[in-house]
């Protein structure tokens, strides 16, 4: 038996005669972990690091030969990729197998911070889908917003609400992803402190909390909609038992997802209703501990009344967006606290619905501040995928890009006598942020709170 893993957990896992207890213990004692990244397909086409292989269940995802210092890479700050545990990327495979990408959907990532699954959904769903990324903890919602800003999509709303708030949107979503708070046994290799905090009592507490989260929010899923429920726990009480509990309510049926036997994913069946589950063990594949099940809502669900809301008269100066935004007619602009935003025009009413019942941290893309009739562009605009490609820019070397990200003073040598005014700082063709080129100096507008310190 392991000297540091909880004996009660190892014994429970070992009840399964096919479970490799020795391999499970050994991989935790060795501590060697795989590093994987997932590319942003709208920004980066090729992996910028040496790879050891592809993540087989996720498109545009790679295992790296070694873990780089991501904070020193300008492409990371530009939103070119997201470092994420490969096990969690299985959601991409599920979406493809369910053919959800075939048409636009309303999607909710209920427990979204720090944003790995939300950025994955941004890439995996139909590009005209609407994604609501929610985080209940205020101290974590900012990192969620930052990561989605880097990803650059305009069709996303970030909210900061208790899951129960979504009960006010019955039948609203086609897809719900609930990566539920759990006892964390699947993260023992990543966070050794989790070993000391783990207990059977905490497993029971987490299972009860997971049921509460689902019970208070599941009405937001429409009839025929899909629930992707996941945890980073090995305990049945938080995984297969939750699937049984949901099916036992009469509201859901289990959906099987085809997998390749060579991937090392364990296909499980729950005790009561033989619900399909998928377990990821670090001694069997390149990823941390993870569980996910897919359920389809079969109960009749009353639907949210999408009554048409009379559009308000816009106070945005006509034509101000034209130099900054591509396909400007696809978006509607609005002003909030002196900031100018854009949001997909097809979801204008939906934004009003969401504003009426939720606390919104961000919606669409913050374009910038209006100073009289001049626009002071925002950092979010620089990283946005709808930025006009004709906006002037300067290409930086690695050293110049790192100095920019440190918010250091920029020398005139990086400038050009032709370019004046607002310009993008770019590295390998990807936008890092704004600078303003004046006759005798260059002002660095990289956000102070985002600057990198460890160079």
Known catalytic residues are: 232
Q: Residue 117 annotated as binding?
A: yes
Q: Residue 85 annotated as binding?
A: no
CA distance 62 to 338: 41
Q: Residue 215 annotated as binding?
A: no
280: its two tokens: 């990821």
**Do the beta carbons of residue 386 and residue 365 sit within 8 Å?**
yes
CA distance 71 to 83: 11
Backbone angles phi, psi at 260, to 5 degrees: -85, 130
Instruction: Answer whether the bond into residue 29 is a cis peptide, omega within 30°.
Output: no
Q: Residue 417 annotated as binding?
A: no
Q: Residue 162 annotated as binding?
A: yes
Q: Residue 251 annotated as binding?
A: no
**Do the beta carbons of residue 431 and residue 387 sit within 8 Å?**
yes
Select from 297, 298, 290, 246 the least CA-distant residue to 268: 290
CA distance 359 to 158: 9
| Residue in this structure with the two tokens 């160079």, named with its chain if needed | 455
Q: Residue 115 annotated as binding?
A: yes
Select from 225, 109, 194 the least CA-distant residue to 156: 109
State the distance between the two ends of the chain, measured CA to CA, in whole angstroms.
43
CA distance 356 to 339: 20
* 204, 230, 265, 372, 402 from 280: Cα distances, Å: 21, 11, 5, 55, 37
Binding-site residue ranges: 111-117, 135, 162, 179
Binding-site residue ranges for S-adenosyl-L-methionine: 111-117, 135, 162, 179
């Amino acid at each position: 038996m392991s000297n540091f893993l909880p004996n009660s957990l190892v014994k429970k896992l070992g009840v399964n005669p096919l479970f490799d207890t020795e391999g499970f213990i050994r991989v935790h004692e060795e501590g060697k972990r795989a590093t994987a990244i997932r590319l942003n397909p709208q920004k980066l086409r090729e992996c910028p690091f040496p790879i050891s292989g592809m993540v087989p269940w996720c498109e545009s995802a790679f295992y790296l030969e070694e873990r780089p210092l991501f904070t020193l890479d300008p492409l990371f700050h530009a939103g070119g990729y997201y470092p994420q545990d490969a096990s969690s990327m299985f959601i991409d495979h599920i979406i493809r197998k369910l053919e959800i990408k075939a048409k636009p959907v309303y999607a909710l990532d209920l427990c979204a911070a720090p944003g790995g699954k939300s950025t994955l959904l941004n890439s995996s769903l139909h590009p005209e889908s609407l994604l609501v990324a929610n985080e209940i903890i205020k101290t974590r919602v900012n990192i969620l917003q930052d990561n989605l800003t880097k990803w650059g999509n305009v069709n996303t709303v970030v909210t900061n609400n208790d899951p129960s708030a979504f009960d006010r949107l019955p039948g609203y979503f086609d897809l719900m992803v609930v990566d539920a708070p759990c006892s964390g046994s699947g993260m023992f290799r990543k966070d050794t402190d989790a070993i000391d905090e783990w207990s059977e009592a905490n497993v029971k507490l987490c299972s009860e909390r997971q049921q509460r989260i689902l019970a208070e929010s599941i009405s937001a899923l429409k009839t025929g909609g899909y629930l992707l429920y996941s945890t980073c726990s090995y305990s049945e009480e938080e995984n297969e038992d939750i699937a049984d509990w949901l099916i036992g309510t009469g509201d859901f049926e289990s959906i099987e997802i085809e997998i390749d036997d060579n991937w090392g994913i364990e296909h499980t069946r729950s005790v009561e209703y033989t619900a399909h589950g998928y377990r990821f063990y670090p001694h069997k594949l390149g990823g941390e501990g993870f569980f996910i099940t897919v359920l389809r809502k079969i109960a009749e669900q009353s639907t949210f009344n999408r009554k048409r809301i009379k559009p308000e008269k816009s106070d945005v100066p006509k034509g101000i967006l034209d130099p900054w935004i591509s396909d400007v007619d696809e978006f509607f602009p609005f002003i909030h606290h002196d900031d100018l935003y854009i949001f997909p025009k097809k979801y204008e009413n939906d934004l009003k619905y969401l504003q009426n019942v939720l606390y919104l941290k961000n919606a669409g893309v913050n374009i910038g501040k209006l100073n009289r009739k001049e626009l002071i562009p925002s950092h979010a605009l620089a990283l946005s995928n709808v930025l006009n490609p004709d906006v002037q820019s300067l290409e930086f070397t690695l050293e110049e890009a790192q100095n920019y990200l440190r918010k250091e003073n920029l020398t005139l040598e990086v400038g050009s006598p032709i370019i004046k005014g607002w310009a993008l700082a770019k590295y390998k063709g990807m936008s890092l942020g704004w600078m303003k080129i004046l006759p005798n100096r260059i002002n660095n507008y990289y956000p102070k709170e985002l600057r990198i310190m460890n160079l």
